[in-house]
């Protein structure tokens, strides 16, 4: 893992910056720690063990009271519950975001991938409020896996992928025609939820979160557009799941 | 029993719920032992209705380019029978985008069954009162790139009989190489002259029409 903090410096007087540039933070860290400094990469940051054991998974918009790192965003891991205010509190958001594309008539089946967009408004990370994704072009995916003790375990995040999108009239488009690229503002390395293509009709591992870690990526989807399907509006729902041992 | 805060609330209210399997964009699960959190995303792809017809030169439909292109002189089919053929023969043409009197023909549609027809203004004439019936111009369909050859309408003076192209999963994707020939019946040589061609009044143009009913 290559944990990389975004908040590594404080304002004069001790106020923590909550939304500094991630890359700038990384440069400051390297300067401070020299050869032992973590390299830039996807955003995977260590969090402190604490009770209760918790997993939080967010794809698209989410619900969180405050930010996870509270007012300790300059520390990694952020110390649990001290000083006040405590760490942010994750919640359930019942929104189901949509990733969509409307192919132009002149482009149907022209073998040029069509970029999809989302109706998500979530660009900021609930870890620290950093503008990590670029909604609605990108879909946020992230969360944390926290246990009560230290450990080296991890949990996979899977996608339960239907075989195809359907138009309600018996016509289908394979989910294998939908791919995504993974990135994150200021990220330069591998992502915890890397680029891939859906595997139709399968439960597919799309990333992992290490024990006592927050991990996140931003996905940009595209439709392969290699065939001329029947005219219509095709829909399908993918369910993402994280399960602890 | 390990349940989420959300599920606990539902059970307290007397409802039965499947723990954390409801659709959501974010979920949190806490407790001891195994925990599960699930979120869902809906995907949507909208495909408009398209209908593509090509006879002769045109866009590269085999690579997915379904665009309109202007007619080209390359598409003209010419017959120049020899004196010997005037006594009765099948005359091969020249020209066409595939040369030798052969045209590329393709129909692609995604809205169900497609009809394909052809029409002419009437018999070709030479501007001097002599005519050649379009029924003497035949079209043979041969394999191009698709498994099903696109059939060619039988040409006539006026409208041809409309063909029906059946769809598979509401899509039609058929092409062919259409070879045109001119048949001169024995004992019926045409009067010398140039028939059809670019002069509209000489009825030398065939118009093909594809439609999705």
From the CA atom positions of chain A, what is the Rg in Å? Answer: 19
What letter does residue B148 receive in the DSSP assignment? S
- Candidates A53, A90, A178; nearest CB to B31: A53
Residue listed under structure tokens 């019926």: B188
Q: Residue A37: which H helix or E strand, with range?
A: none
User: Under an 8 A CB cutoff, do A56 and B47 touch?
Assistant: no
> Is B30 within 8 Å of A54 when comparing Cβ atoms?
yes
Is it the case that residue A16 has pLDDT exceeding 50? no
Give residue A157's region: left, alpha or beta (phi > 0; psi -120 to 50).
Answer: beta
User: Is residue A214 within 8 Å of A44, Cβ to Cβ?
Assistant: yes
User: What pLDDT is attached to residue B25?
Assistant: 81
Residue A172 β-bridge partners: A166
Domain boundaries, chain B: 1-44, 51-211
Residue in B64, B66, B169 nearest the CB of A171: B169
Contact B24 A92 (CB under 8 A): yes
Of A62, A98, A229, the CB nearest to B47: A229
Nearest to A53 among B30, B50, B170 (CB): B30
List, for residues B75-98, the tens digit of each pLDDT value. Answer: 999 999 999 999 999 999 999 999
Q: pLDDT for A83-132, tens place per residue?
A: 444 578 899 999 999 999 999 999 999 999 999 999 999 999 999 999 99
pLDDT at residue B6 in the model: 28
* Binary contact (A139, B41; C-beta < 8 A): yes
pLDDT at A245: 87
Nearest residue to B38 via CA among A59, A208, A201: A59
Identify whether the C-beta of residue A109 lies closer than 8 Å to the C-beta of residue B52: no
3-state secondary structure A140-159: EEEEEEECCCCCCCEEEEEE
3-state class (DSSP) for residue A27: helix
Tens-digit pLDDT profile for residues B154-184:
999 999 999 999 999 999 999 999 999 999 9
The SS3 call for residue B101 is coil
Q: Is the pLDDT of residue B152 over 50?
A: yes
Note whether A98 contacts B41, CB cutoff 8 Å. yes
At residue A79 the predicted structure's pLDDT band, cuts being 50, 70 and 90, is low
Residue B147 to residues A106, B150, B176: CA-CA distances in angstroms? 24, 9, 10
Q: Are B120 and B158 in contact (CB under 8 A)?
A: yes
Contacts of B31 in chain A (CB under 8 A): 52-53
pLDDT at A35 over 50: no
User: Cα-flanking dihedrals φ and ψ of residue A76, to 5°?
Assistant: -130, 120
Q: Tell me how close the Cα of B74 comes to any Cα of chain A, in angstroms.
A: 25
Give pLDDT, residue A185: 95
Question: CA–CA separation, B126 vs B201, rounded Å?
Answer: 9
Measure the CA–CA gap between A118 and A189, rounded to whole angstroms.
Answer: 24
- Tell me what pLDDT residue B115 has: 98
Give the sign of the dihedral formed by CA A161, CA A165, CA A171, CA A177.
negative
Q: Decide if pLDDT at A21 tops 70.
A: no
pTM across the whole model:
0.82
Domain map of chain A by residue range?
A: 22-242
Q: Do B50 and A91 count as a contact with CB atoms less than 8 A apart?
A: no
Of B105, B115, B110, B106, nearest to B172 (Cα)? B110
Percent of chain A whose pLDDT exceeds 70: 78
CA–CA gap between residue B148 and residue B142 (Å, rounded): 10
- Alpha-carbon gap: A139 to the closest alpha carbon of chain B (Å): 10
- Cβ-in-10-Å burial (0-12, 13-18, 19+) of B192 comes to exposed
Looking at every residue in chain B, the average pLDDT score rounds to 89
Distance from CA of B187 to the nearest CA of A (A): 51
| pLDDT, mean of residues B39-54 | 97
Lowest-pLDDT range of A51-55, A74-78, A170-174, B65-69: A74-78
Which of the four pLDDT bands, split at 50, 70 and 90, describes residue A33? very low
Q: For residue A119, list chain B residues with Cβ-Cβ distance below 8 A.
A: none
A221 has pLDDT over 50: yes
* pLDDT over 50 at B143, yes or no: yes
What tens digit of pLDDT does each residue of A93-105 get? 999 999 999 999 9
Which residues pair with residue A236 across a beta bridge? B43
Neighbours of A178 (CB within 10 A): 24
């Amino acid at each position: 893992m290559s944990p990389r903090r975004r908040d590594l410096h404080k304002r004069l007087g001790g106020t923590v910056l909550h939304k500094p540039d991630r890359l700038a933070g990384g440069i400051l860290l390297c300067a401070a720690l020299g050869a032992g400094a973590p390299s830039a990469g996807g955003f995977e940051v260590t969090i402190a063990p604490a009770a209760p054991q918790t997993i939080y998974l967010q794809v698209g918009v989410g619900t969180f009271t405050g930010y996870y790192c509270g007012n300790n965003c300059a520390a990694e891991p952020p110390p649990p519950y001290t000083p006040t205010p405590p760490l942010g509190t994750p919640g359930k958001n019942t929104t189901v975001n949509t990733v969509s594309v409307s192919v132009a008539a002149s482009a149907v089946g022209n073998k040029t991938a069509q970029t999809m967009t989302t109706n998500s408004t979530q660009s900021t990370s609930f870890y620290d409020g950093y503008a990590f994704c670029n909604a609605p072009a990108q879909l946020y995916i992230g969360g944390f896996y926290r246990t009560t003790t230290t450990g080296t375990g991890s949990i996979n995040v899977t996608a339960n992928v239907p075989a195809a999108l359907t138009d309600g009239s018996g016509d289908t488009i394979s989910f294998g025609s939908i791919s995504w690229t993974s990135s994150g503002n200021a990220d330069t390395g591998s992502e915890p939820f890397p680029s891939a293509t859906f595997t139709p009709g399968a439960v597919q591992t799309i990333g992992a979160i290490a024990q006592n870690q927050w991990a996140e990526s931003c996905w940009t989807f595209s439709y392969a557009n290699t065939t001329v399907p029947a005219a219509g509006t095709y829909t399908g729902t993918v369910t993402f799941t994280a399960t602890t041992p | 029993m390990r349940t989420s805060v959300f599920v606990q609330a539902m059970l307290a209210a007397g409802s039965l719920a499947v723990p954390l399997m409801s659709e959501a964009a974010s979920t949190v699960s806490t407790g001891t032992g195994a925990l599960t959190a699930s979120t869902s995303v809906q995907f949507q792809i909208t495909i408009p209705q398209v209908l593509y017809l090509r006879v002769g030169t045109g866009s590269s439909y085999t690579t997915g380019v379904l665009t309109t292109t202007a007619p080209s002189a390359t598409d003209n089919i010419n017959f120049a029978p020899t004196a010997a053929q005037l006594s009765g023969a099948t005359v091969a043409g020249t020209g066409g985008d595939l040369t030798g009197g052969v045209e590329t023909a393709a129909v692609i549609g995604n809205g169900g069954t497609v009809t394909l027809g052809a029409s002419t203004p009437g018999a070709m004439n030479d501007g001097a009162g002599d005519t050649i019936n379009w029924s003497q111009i035949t079209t043979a369909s041969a394999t191009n790139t698709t498994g099903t050859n696109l059939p060619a309408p039988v040409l006539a003076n006026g409208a041809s009989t409309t063909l029906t192209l059946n769809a598979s999963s509401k899509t039609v994707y058929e092409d062919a190489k259409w070879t045109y020939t001119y048949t001169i019946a024995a004992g019926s040589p045409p009067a010398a002259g140039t028939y059809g061609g670019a002069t509209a009044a000489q009825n030398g143009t065939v118009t093909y029409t594809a439609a999705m009913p």
